[in-house]
């Protein structure tokens, strides 16, 4: 059975473009894997707290079963159980929303999703595919704003760090540049989501 983890992080609950396109991608994958199990994590409707002093203390002292790390373990289990992760990510101030960063801080943990060996860091969440749905007011895939994009490069780096290197993007950009540009960006993204294919590793 294929397990799809769908992460939502837009605080716009009316008209979010990532919240429109993410489900198109999930539906497309469901058509390919009719028995797929879907795990939905909406980081806005149910937010993940910032890393707390108790979290850090338990983590640094190796108390992996401490209550302060229970949510982290649950989120890690969801990632490790999944075959495909569909991440819906708006650009906020050139990077990712803090709601998603809090999730990352809970999921990226030494000994759980990565470890350091003789050859350097090794991701432990291997054999998965990630589809990242990126929403942006401006245009960053080309042109003068390209170097200001700390959203896609960061996501690719952190996913790669935990072993997820098979990453596809669906970019919805320029949505703040007028209704025509927004409609074209959405139509392009919808088409791209419809043509997603995933081959199990
Ligand atoms: C707090 C906040 C910060 C934003 N920062 C940026 C930004 O740095 N660059 C940009 O192009 N758009 C920015 N935007 C616009 C969003 O990226 C845009 O609205 C996009 O559609 C967000 O995805 P969503 O519709 O799924 O929420 C920002 C929006 C908000 C609410």
Tell me the pLDDT tens digit for each residue of 176-187: 999 999 999 999
pTM for the full predicted model: 0.96
CATH of the domain at 122: 3.40.50.360
Q: Which atom of ligand 1 is nearest to the CA of 136?
A: 17
**Does 9 map to a domain?**
yes
**Does 38 map to a domain?**
yes
**Does 201 map to a domain?**
no
**Does 23 map to a domain?**
yes
**Does 199 map to a domain?**
no
**Cβ atoms 40, 6 nearer than 8 A:** yes
CA–CA separation, 173 vs 190, rounded Å? 13
Pairing type for strands 3-8 and 84-90 reads parallel
Task: Tell me how far the alpha carbon of residue 180 lies from the centroid of ligand 1, in angstroms.
Answer: 17
- Please give the tally of structural domains in the chain: 1
pLDDT band with cut points at 50, 70 and 90 for residue 201: very low
Structure-token pair, residue 92: 């906020």
Task: Tell me how far the alpha carbon of residue 95 lies from the centroid of ligand 1, in angstroms.
Answer: 9
Within 6 A (CB) of ligand 1 lie 10, 12, 16-19, 90-94, 135-138, 175-176
In this structure, what DSSP letter does residue 50 have?
P
Q: What is the pLDDT of residue 200?
A: 46
State whether the Cα torsion 150-77-11-190 is positive or negative. Answer: positive
Q: Model confidence over 57-97: pLDDT tens digits? A: 999 999 999 999 999 999 999 999 999 999 999 999 999 99
Test site for ligand 1: of 11, 20, 24, 92, most ligand atoms within 8 A of the Cβ: 92
CA–CA separation, 88 vs 120, rounded Å? 30
Q: Which atom of ligand 1 is nearest to the CA of 135?
A: 23
């Amino acid at each position: 059975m294929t397990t799809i983890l769908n992460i939502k992080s837009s605080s716009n609950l009316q008209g979010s473009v990532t919240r429109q396109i993410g489900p198109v991608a999930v539906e497309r994958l469901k058509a390919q894997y009719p028995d797929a199990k879907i795990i939905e994590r909406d980081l806005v409707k149910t937010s993940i707290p910032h890393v707390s002093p108790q979290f850090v203390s338990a983590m640094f002292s190796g108390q992996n079963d401490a209550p302060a790390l229970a949510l982290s373990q649950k989120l890690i289990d969801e990632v490790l159980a999944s075959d495909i992760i569909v991440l819906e990510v708006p650009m906020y101030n050139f990077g990712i929303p803090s709601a998603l960063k809090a999730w990352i801080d809970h999921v990226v943990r030494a000994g759980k999703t990565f470890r350091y060996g003789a050859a350097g860091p090794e991701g432990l969440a291997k054999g998965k595919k990630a589809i990242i749905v990126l929403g942006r007011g401006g245009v960053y895939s080309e042109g003068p704003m390209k170097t200001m994009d700390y959203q896609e490069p960061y996501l690719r780096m952190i996913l790669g760090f935990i072993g997820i290197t098979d990453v596809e993007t669906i970019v919805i950009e320029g949505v703040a540049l007028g209704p025509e540009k927004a409609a074209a960006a959405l139509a392009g993204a919808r088409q791209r989501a419809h043509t997603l294919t995933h081959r199990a590793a």
